[in-house]
Amino acid sequence: MIAMPLYNTVIDGIVNALTAVAEEEAAWAYFEVSKNRSRPYIESVTNKALVNIVLDSIETDSARSSLQNKMHKATYFIDMYVKGNTGEVLEPADEVATDRLHLLTAQVEYALTHKSNNRFGLAIGQVENRSEITLKFYSLQDENSAAVYAPARWTMILYFPYAPAEATPEALEQLNVNVQKWQQRYIYTS
């Protein structure tokens, strides 16, 4: 039976780390966490801050891979949206929303770098220590209209091995060693 891929486990690990920070910050700067949303639904959210995690791509690091054993390079988007401080009316994002977005990016970075222990639910050795993380802020206005929320995105790249189930060696149950022949070939002097 084929197991759930490691890159899916990582998404759940990111959600858990973000949820832990959101709960710690609930008294003054709560944010909602979701995963795999195809588009933001910030317009209908009563809470003003939203984080959404999406797996963007899986690539094979060809320099470090064979047909049976691959090194995956997984790219995750952690999208952040903060609604303008205008109540029920959908108006352009304001200065308060931008300030809140800056705090939200710091909260998310803390979750990604400290709460998760950088393994995101995987065992030691299942994810490499190297990772790449970048932050991009998006314009509050486009050519057609002003956005009703302030958006930003953390892009995180993680590397972890992939070995298909067929390539996994079976556990060694018995090992027979004949040391007499080996000892006869080599004579050690003190």
- Residue 116: which domain range? 6-185
Amino acid 167: pLDDT: 44
Q: What is the pLDDT of residues 120-142, one digit of tens each?
A: 878 777 777 777 899 999 876 55
- Residue 161 within any structural domain of the chain: yes
> What is the dihedral angle through the alpha carbons of 83, 86, 92, 94, rounded to the nearest 10 degrees?
-80
* Domain membership flag for residue 44: yes
Could you tell me the CATH number of the domain that includes residue 66?
A: 3.30.2000.10
The residue ranking higher by pLDDT, 124 or 10, is: 10
Residue 190 in any domain: the answer is: no
CA distance 161 to 166: 15
If one counts the domains in the chain, the total is: 1
37 belongs to a structural domain: yes
- Please report which helix (H) or strand (E) contains residue 135, including its range: strand 131-137
Range with lowest mean pLDDT among 41-50, 61-70, 107-116, 132-141: 41-50
- Contact indicator for 81, 145 with CB cutoff of 8 Å: no
Q: Helix/strand/coil (H, E, C) string of 27-91?
A: HHHCCEEEECCCCCCHHHCCCCEEEEEEEEEEEECHHHCCCCCEEEEEEEEEEEEEECCCCCCCC
> Is pLDDT at 5 greater than 60 in this prediction?
yes
Residue 54 lies in a domain: yes
Average pLDDT on 98-121 reads 84
Note whether 15 and 33 are within 8 A (CB): yes
Question: Which helix (H) or strand (E) segment is 156 a member of?
Answer: strand 149-162
Q: Which residues fall within 8 angstroms of residue 154, CB to CB, at 6 or more apart? A: 77, 78, 80, 105, 108, 109, 112, 133, 134, 135
The pLDDT confidence band at residue 154, using thresholds 50, 70 and 90, is: very high
Q: Answer yes or no: is 63 within a domain.
A: yes
State residue 144's pLDDT score. Answer: 55
pLDDT of 40 reads: 61
Mean pLDDT confidence for 22-49 = 79
8-state DSSP, 172: P
164 pLDDT above the threshold of 70: no
**What pLDDT sits at residue 57?**
94
Residue 1 counted as domain residue = no
The pair of structure tokens assigned to 161 is 């091995």
Contact status, residue 129 vs residue 119, Cβ threshold 8 Å: no
Greater pLDDT, 92 or 14? 14
Mean pLDDT of the chain, nearest integer: 78
∠ CA(27), CA(153), CA(72), 5° rounding?
A: 115
List % helix, strand, coil for the chain (3-state, nearest 5).
30, 30, 40
Read off the pLDDT of each residue in 99-111 and give the average, rounded to a whole number: 92
